[in-house]
Amino acid sequence: MSVAIPFIAFLLAGGFAAYHRLRLAVWAAMTVTMLVACWLLGANVAATLIAAFMVAIIAVPLLLPQIRRPYITAPLLKFYRRILPPLSQTERIALESGSVGFEGELFSGKPDWNALLSQPRAVLAAEEQAFLDGPCEELCRMINDWEITHVHADLTPELWDFVKRNKFFGLIIPKEYGGLGFSALAHHKVIQKISSISTVVSTTVGVPNSLGPGELLMHYGTQEQKDYYLPRLADGREVPCFALTGPFAGSDATSIPDYGIVCQGEWNGARVVGVRLTFDKRYITLAPVATIIGLAFRMYDPDGLIGDVKDIGITLALLPRDTDGVEIGRRHFPLNSPFQNGPVRGDDVFIPLSQLIGGEDFAGQGWAMLNECLSVGRSITLPSTASGGAKMGAVVSGAYARIRKQFGLSIGRFERVEEALARVAGTADAISALAQATAMAVDRGEKPAVPSAIAKYHCTTMGRELVSDVMDVHGGKGIILGPNNYLGRSWQASPIGITVEGANIMTRSLLIFGQGAILCHPWVLKEMRAAQNPDAQAGLEDFDRNLFGHMGFAISNAVRSFWYGLTAAKIGKAPGDDYTQRFYRKLDRYSANLALMADTSMLLLGGKLKFKESLSGRLGDVLSQLYIASAMLKRYQDEGCPEGDQPLLAWAFHDGVHKMELALSGALRNFPIRPVGWVLWALIFPWGRRAQAPSDRLGHRAASLLMTPCDARERMSDGVFLTPCANNPAGRIDSYLPKVILADPVERKFLKALKNSDIETLDFVSQLDEGVKEGWITNEERAQLEELRAITLDAISVDDFDVHQLRAASYYDQQRPNAAREAA
C-alpha cells in the first residue's frame, strides 16, 4: 500500500489543481509538498522518487520558457498552422462583427455567475411604459386580425395612419432625428404586445426597427443621409424595406449575383459617377408598400473610376421607389399571413455614389455592416414575436381548459391535456426569458451574434411546438377560422419565423456552434490570431501563452466533468437561494461538458468539424440550453425569487437539462472517432445518462398555475394584450377565469341536486327555475349560473359563413357579371 500512496498523492494534487485551475507552479509546489509528506510518513522511497521525477519531467520544461518555446511551442505552432482550417473573408467578417457577453462564460467550463446576476435588471423608462400603456394599447384595441388576414389582406388605412402618426416605425431612431429613441427592452416589449393579437401588425412594425435602412443609417450613414432620411423614416413619410435575399442566394447571402458597375450617368440633371445596378430579390418584407429600398449587391469598378480594386465587394445602397428601372413586383402570400411581402427587381438602374449607405467610404463593407446590424435586429423582432404569442397562448389555454368541460370535468383536469398545458407553461416561460435576455444584451451595448442566433432559433422553434400544444388543448375551437378564432393564423404562420433571417436548419449548426465555438471560446480565437501574426516572434510568444492556457483549460474541464459526473453535481459552491443552488451546480457541470466536447472535437476533427453538422448541431443545443437556463435564472433572481414561479422554472429547467443530456449522448454515441467517444462518455457520464424529463407531478403543478388566478399567472400574462373587447376573444376568455372559478361550487351543487331529482326537462332556463323553486340555489346563484352559461358559450363559440363570404373578393367580383347574365 505504501507503494501506491505517492502516486495517489500525485493524482489527487493534479485533480485538485485542475479542478480549481491553479497555476502550474502552484501544482508543482503542492505536489512536491505532498510527496515529501508521504516520504516522512513512511511511504515507499522508490515510489516517492518516481512520482517526484514525473513532476519534474512535466514542470521543468513547461515552467522554463527558454526550453518550452523553442522545443515544444515552435513545433506545435508549425503543426497548428498546417491543420488550421482557412477562414474565408466572409467567415472572418462574421467572427469580427460580434461581441461576446455571458455566453462566453458558458464556454469556460466554470461560469462566473456573479457576472450574470450583477447585470442590470430589465426596467422600462417612464416614457417607454407610458407608450406601452397609451399608443400601443390603443393600437391593439384597433386591431381586428380577422379583417386584416381575411377581408383586407392588409392593415386598414386607419391602422397604417395610426402606426405612422405615433412613430411606431421610429422606435429605435434617436430623438434628435424625430424618433422615439427607445431602448432595446422597450422595442422588445412593444413587439411582444402587438404580436399577442396580430403577427401581421407586429411584423409591419418590427421590420422598420430591425435590419434595414433605419438601423444601417444610424450606424453607418453619412450626416447628410441621416439628416434627410431618419426623420422621414421616424414619422412614416418613408416606409423602408431591405432587399437581401434572391432566387439564387438565400441563407448563403454572400453569394448574391446582384451586381453594380461603377460608371458615369445622369442623376437629377447632372452627370455624376455612380453605380448601374441589376438585381432580382424576393421575400422582401414591406416591399410592396416601401418608398425607400435598401439594397445589397456586389460592386465592381472595371474602369478604375474610384480606385484600383476591381471587385469591391458587397455594398449597400438606398433606392427611392420611383428610381428609373426599379420594379416592385406583385405580392407574395406567406401562409395566409398577409404582411406586405414581395419581390423587387431592377435592370439598368443608375444611382450616384451618394446613395451608397455611408457613401463611397463604405463601399465593399456591406457584409460587415449587415452582420453587425443583424446581430442586433435578430435579437428582438422574431424572439419578441414568439414571446408575445407564447405568453398569450399559455394564459388563454389555461383559462380555456378551465372553462371548457367534457364528461362533467374541466378538460384541464384530464392528464393528457394537463401534459400539454405543462409543456405550454414551461416553454412559454423559457421563450419569454430568452427573448428578454437578448434584448437586454443589446441594451448593454453588445453585438450578440451568438445569443441572437440562439434566440432566433429556439424562440421560433419552441414557438412552433407550443402552438401545436395550444391547438391540441383548444380542439375544434382552434381550427375553425373566423372572428372568434385567435389561434389559426398563428398556427399557419409558425413556419415563417423558422425560415426567415437565416433558416433554422442552418442556424443551429453553422451559427450557434460554428460561430460560438470560435467567438465564445476563451482560447481558440486568440490561438488563431497568434498563428496568423506576421511578426514571427510576437506570434510565437502569443501562441505559447494561449496554447498552454488552453491545455490547462482542457485538462481542467476533463477533471471537472468527471467530478461532476461522479457526484451528480451535488457538491460545490454555487450562488442563488436554497431552491436554485442545485440548478447552478448542474449548469456548471454541463458547461464543463460542453467545453470538453468542443475542445476534443476541434482538436481531432479540425477543419472537418465544419462539415459535421449533426455533431456541431448537438453541441450547439447544449450551448443554447445553457444560455436559456441562465436567462431564466437571471429573471427569477431579478423578480425577487418568487416562490409561485418555482414550478414553471423547475419544469423548464429540467426540460432543458434533459435536452442537454440527450444532445451530449447523441454527440458521444456518434462521435466520428469511436474510441475517443468511449473515453469521453466515461468522463461525462461515469454513471450513465441520469437526467429525466419533467415529472408528471411537476407538470401538474405547472399546468395548475395556468388554470388558477395567481401571481405566477399574472407575471406570465404581463406584457401581452389581454384587454377584453369585441376584437379580442382571447382577452375575453382570460377575463372569464375568476368568474368561472367562483361559479364552480354553485354549478356542482346545482348539478348534483338536479341529478338526484325527478325533473325531466332538458331546457336550461327551466332547470334553473326548478332549482330556485326547490331551494337548491338562490336567485343570486341563479344569476351566477346564467352568467356562467353565457361566458362559456362565448368561450367555445366558433364561426360560420355564407358561401360568398369565403370566396376571394377578386373571384367573386369577376363572377357576379356572369351570374347576372345567366339570371337574365
Residues known to be catalytic: 501
Q: How far apart are CA 723 and CA 741, in angstroms?
A: 19
Is 612 in a helix, a strand, or coil? Answer: coil
The phi and psi torsions of 262 (rounded to 5 degrees) equal: -70, 130
Q: Residues 6 or more apart from 3 whose CB is under 8 A from it?
A: 43, 44, 46, 47
The rounded distance, in Å, linking the Cα atoms of 240 and 209 is 10
| 283, containing H or E segment | strand 270-285
CA distance 548 to 80: 13
The alpha-helical segments, DSSP class H, found in 606-638 are: 613-638
Q: What is the DSSP letter of 108?
A: S
| DSSP letter for each residue of 529-573 | HHHT-SSHHHHHHHHHHHHHHHHHHHHHHHHHHHHHHHHTT-SS-
Helix/strand/coil percentages in the chain, nearest 5: 65, 10, 25
- Distance between CA 591 and CA 554 in Å, rounded? 12
Cβ of 551: how many Cβ atoms within 10 Å? 15
**φ, ψ (nearest 5 deg) of residue 249:** -150, 100
Assign 3-class secondary structure to 318-334: EEECCCCCEEECCCCCC
For residue 546, the number of C-alpha atoms closer than 13 Å in the C-beta half-sphere is 20
Please, which residues have CB within 8 angstroms of residue 228's CB and are 6 or more apart in sequence?
Answer: none
Measuring CA to CA, which residue among 244, 226, 266 is closest to residue 352? 266
Yes or no: say if 48 and 38 are a contact pair by the CB < 8 Å rule. Answer: yes
3-class secondary structure, 601 = helix
b/e burial code for range 196-232 (CB count within 10 A of at least 16 → b): bbbbbbbbbbbbbbbbbbbbbbbebbbeebbebbbbb
Confirm if 597 and 679 have CB atoms less than 8 A apart: no
Question: Which amino acid would we find at residue 190?
Answer: V
Closest alpha carbon to 322 in 356, 296, 351, 286: 351
Contact 24, 62 (CB under 8 A): yes
CB 312, CB 299: distance < 8 Å: yes
DSSP string, 21-43: T--HHHHHHHHHHHHHHHHHTT-
Pairwise CA distance, residues 179 & 173, whole Å: 5
Task: Please name the residue that has the C-alpha cell 413619410.
Answer: 237
Which residues, other chains included, contact 789 with Cβ-Cβ below 8 Å and sequence gap of 6+?
Answer: 764
| Alpha carbon distances (Å) from 602 to 505, 508, 674 | 22, 17, 15
Identify the sign of the CA torsion 322, 328, 334, 338: positive
CA atoms of 703 and 535, how far apart (whole Å)? 62
109: left (phi over 0), alpha (psi -120 to 50) or beta: left
